[in-house]
Amino acid sequence: MARLRYADAITSALREEMLADDRVFIAGEEVGQYLGTLGVTSGFLKEFGPMRVVDTPISEVGILGLGIGSAMAGLRPVCEMMRMDFAMVAYDQVINHAAKIRYMFGGQFKVPMVIRGPSGVGRQLSAQHSQSLEVLFAHVPGLKVVMPATPADMKGLLKTAMRDDNPVIVMEALRLYFEKPDVLDAILPGLSEVPDDPDFTVPFGKANVLRAGTDVTLIGYSTMTIQCLKAANILAQEGISAEVVDLRTLLPLDMATPIASIKKTHRAVVVQEQWGLYGCAAEISAQIAERAFYDLDAPVQRVTGAFVPMPFARNLENISFPSEHDIVIAAKRTLGR
């Protein structure tokens, strides 16, 4: 076991897959000579050369087109978006093209590509650089959407994404990138641990019970899973035993694991970083209502970000997305406290 930061897990997955499969290449802005905007591809250009580590102009449409076409032609591209917000510039390539090609041509082609990059709130990056837009991708058949919360999942899910034969959107939690292993392990012992085995992967569509509990189920993904773990720690001090379920992938979505947990706890809180309206937490809550209504002792609670563009001022930013305290309050509400 190695104790890694989330960013190191990305590097490790990318590097191992590039070594294992020479069809894999990376394209994006500042991925090569600049050593990566956030350093995850540091040294890659030197190690793999310019055909496999492609520095591009600021042309997201071009980057994704390069990916889609070369994937159709048998390569396995990893397209880096400097930030996932910038994928919006090339949304057409993802939604109208990458997601459609398999079905629209009756299964004749496949598009084995990864679109990855940091996502979600950072620190004072303001309205155009703080969004967590997973719902825009998770709504679309033909795509897969991965949102890892832990270094091990980051590595294992990214490797699975790179081996998958479909377009996979890997949304990396910017807030977690450089969190120190000590800090993670203080939230939950072993949280920063990543298996050394080069064949270690994490399958899609298998949620993970990160912490067992009996009173209430906290369901999250990405940064919000970590917030749930922090909330569970606070609840424990107050004698409330919370189970934390990390969804890991939104598409495919594993509802069996959270529902099994709810059958035990009879209460659920679903947490999502960004806007709640029509969001992933709404979908999950609806499925719980459909499949576990009679197991519930209280209405499902959602905790979501404020329905506003991200403000710049630090004090406003801090209250715009869910804190562990918001989750604690929602959990207590399910318990009538």
Ligand X SMILES: Cc1ncc(C[n+]2csc(CCOP(=O)(O)OP(=O)(O)O)c2C)c(N)n1
Which residues sit at the interface with ligand X, rule CB under 6 A? 29, 58, 60, 82, 86, 89
Q: Is 214 in the site for other proteins (CB under 8 A)?
A: no
Least Cβ distance, residue 52 to other proteins (angstroms): 17
Residues 159, 199: Cα–Cα separation, whole Å: 9
Q: Is 193 designated active site?
A: no
Contact yes or no for 45/28 (Cβ under 8 A): no
Contact yes or no for 96/64 (Cβ under 8 A): no
Q: Is 313 in the site for other proteins (CB under 8 A)?
A: yes
Residues in the chain: 337
Of 3, 15, 30, 91, the one binding other proteins by CB under 8 A: 30
| Tokens found for residue 277 | 């309206």
Residue nearest to ligand X (CB): 86
DSSP 22: T
Q: Is 278 in the site for other proteins (CB under 8 A)?
A: no
- Partner from other proteins, ligand X, none binding residue 103, C-beta < 5-8 Å depending on class: none
Q: Which is nearer to ligand X, 128 or 318 (CB)?
A: 128
Residue 315 burial by Cβ neighbours in a 10 Å radius (0-12, 13-18, 19+): exposed
Q: Is 320 in the site for other proteins (CB under 8 A)?
A: yes
- Partner from other proteins, ligand X, none binding residue 308, C-beta < 5-8 Å depending on class: other proteins
Q: Which is nearer to other proteins, 82 or 251 (CB)?
A: 82
Q: Is 129 designated active site?
A: yes
Which of these is catalytic: 60, 80, 243, 317?
60
Q: Which is nearer to other proteins, 126 or 214 (CB)?
A: 126
Q: Is 129 in the site for other proteins (CB under 8 A)?
A: yes
Residues 278, 291: Cα–Cα separation, whole Å: 19
Q: Which is nearer to other proteins, 37 or 287 (CB)?
A: 37
- Partner from ligand X, other proteins, none binding residue 309, C-beta < 5-8 Å depending on class: other proteins
Residues 160, 146: Cα–Cα separation, whole Å: 10
Least Cβ distance, residue 320 to other proteins (angstroms): 6
Cβ contacts of 80 within 8 Å, gap of 6 or more: 26, 27, 28, 29, 31, 41, 63, 116, 117
Q: Is 323 in the site for other proteins (CB under 8 A)?
A: no
Contact yes or no for 136/100 (Cβ under 8 A): no
- Partner from ligand X, other proteins, none binding residue 127, C-beta < 5-8 Å depending on class: other proteins
Q: Is 286 in the site for other proteins (CB under 8 A)?
A: no
Q: C-alpha distances in angstroms, 51 versus 46, 54, 81, 116, 316?
A: 11, 6, 18, 19, 44
Q: Is 47 in the site for other proteins (CB under 8 A)?
A: no
Q: Is 319 in the site for other proteins (CB under 8 A)?
A: yes
Q: Render the burial of 204-225: b for 16+ CB within 10 Å, e for the rest.
A: bbebbebbebebbbbbbbbbbb
Residue 149's identity, in one-letter code, is: A
Least Cβ distance, residue 87 to other proteins (angstroms): 11
Residues near other proteins, by CB under 8 A: 29-30, 33-35, 37, 55-62, 85-86, 88-89, 122-129, 306-309, 311-316, 319-320
Active site residues: 60, 129
